């Protein structure tokens, strides 16, 4: 029983580290488990919300003892024509003890936060911010739209 417990621990740790979208039709079961994983596609082109990954980890605790969290929002698309804008995130009643730059991340309404002031993240680009609260907020991409990268980079 101990080996099974260890195997599940490894699977759960890996699942926690890899952002997946189970809404896609391209979902596969991990061999010997009922854990479902959507492999990231390799083809060219923009896939909107499926190309956006959100990674969240523990930051430096504030002097007051409040934990801080670092968030990285990444456009995982490898093609040069993948600018993704209007990235909305499900974020509950997100709040922070410290100020988060509202151009990077702000709550618009309950469970609706906006990334990068609605502006595009280009292929391979990562936006980072830090917040502080007594617990981490679960953050998940709700909506993201592919846009023309030429229009995204013009002044």
Is it the case that residue 40 has pLDDT exceeding 70?
no
| Domain count of the fold of the chain | 2
The reply to whether 20 and 93 lie within a common domain is: no
Residue 60 has pLDDT above 50, yes or no: yes
Global pTM reads: 0.70
Same-domain check for residues 28 and 54: no
The residue segments making up the domain with residue 89 are 44-153
Stretch among 17-21, 101-105, 110-114 having the lowest mean pLDDT: 17-21
Q: In this structure, what CATH number is given to the domain that contains residue 69?
A: 2.60.40
Do both 55 and 118 map to the same domain?
Answer: yes
Pair (48, 108) in one structural domain: yes
pLDDT at 23: 37
Same domain, 23 and 92: no
Q: Do residues 149 and 81 both lie within one domain?
A: yes
Contacts of 21 (CB under 8 A, 6+ apart): 38, 49, 50
Clarify whether residues 96 and 135 are in a common domain.
Answer: yes
- pLDDT at position 30 is 42
DSSP one-letter string for 81-139? T-EEEEEEEE-TT---SSPP-TTTEEEEETTEEEEGGGPPBPTT-EEEEEEE-SSPPP-
């Amino acid at each position: 029983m101990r080996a099974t417990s260890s195997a599940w621990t490894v699977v759960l740790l890996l699942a926690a580290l890899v952002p997946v979208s189970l809404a896609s039709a391209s979902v596969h079961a991990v061999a010997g488990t009922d854990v479902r994983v959507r492999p990231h596609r390799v083809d060219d082109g923009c896939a909107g919300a499926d190309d956006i990954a959100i990674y969240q980890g523990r930051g430096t605790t504030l002097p007051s003892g409040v934990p801080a969290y670092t968030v990285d929002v990444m456009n995982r698309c490898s093609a040069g024509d993948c600018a993704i804008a209007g990235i909305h995130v499900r974020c509950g009643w997100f709040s922070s003890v410290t100020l988060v730059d509202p151009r990077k991340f702000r709550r618009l309404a309950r469970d609706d936060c906006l990334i990068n002031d609605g502006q595009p993240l280009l292929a391979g680009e990562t936006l980072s911010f830090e917040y502080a609260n007594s617990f981490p907020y679960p953050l998940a991409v709700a909506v993201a739209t592919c846009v023309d990268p030429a229009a995204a980079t013009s002044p």
